[in-house]
């Protein structure tokens, strides 16, 4: 098995919600115009995806819009709990 290469200067590791034995590494490879997303389990790379730099803005927009929708949904749920329909205001 090949040795794990260190993360480039522009990169990060995100731990999976299912547990610390799973992670995603995101590394920026400026020299090749790529962002590499790699999936890790028990410190072994199980898959990778090379995203061209010109596609990064679309991924960022997808994540941003999903986050906005998530916040709006949470706000609406909270509002319905705080002010149930038909409840009188004081």
Task: Return the domain boundaries, the chain.
Answer: 11-82
> What is residue 17's predicted lDDT score, i.e. its pLDDT?
95
> What is residue 77's predicted lDDT score, i.e. its pLDDT?
82
> What is residue 86's predicted lDDT score, i.e. its pLDDT?
60
Residue 65 reports pLDDT greater than 60: yes
Q: How confident is the model at residue 49 (pLDDT cuts 50, 70, 90)?
A: very high
Distance CA 71, CA 74 (A): 5
Q: How confident is the model at residue 59 (pLDDT cuts 50, 70, 90)?
A: very high
Q: How confident is the model at residue 83 (pLDDT cuts 50, 70, 90)?
A: confident
Average pLDDT of the chain is: 87
Radius of gyration of the chain (CA): 20
Residue identified by tokens 């034995």 is 21
Task: From residue 52, give the alpha-carbon distance in Å to each of 4, 29, 37, 47.
Answer: 23, 10, 11, 17
């Amino acid at each position: 098995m090949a040795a794990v290469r260190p993360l480039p200067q522009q990169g990060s590791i995100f731990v999976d919600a299912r547990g610390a034995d799973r992670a995603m590494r995101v590394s920026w490879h400026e020299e090749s115009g790529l962002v590499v997303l790699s999936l890790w389990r028990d410190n072994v790379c199980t898959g990778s995806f090379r995203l061209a730099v010109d596609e990064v803005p679309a991924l960022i927009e997808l994540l941003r819009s999903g986050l906005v929708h998530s916040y709006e949904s949470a706000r609406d749920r909270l509002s319905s709990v705080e002010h149930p329909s038909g409840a009188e205001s004081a």
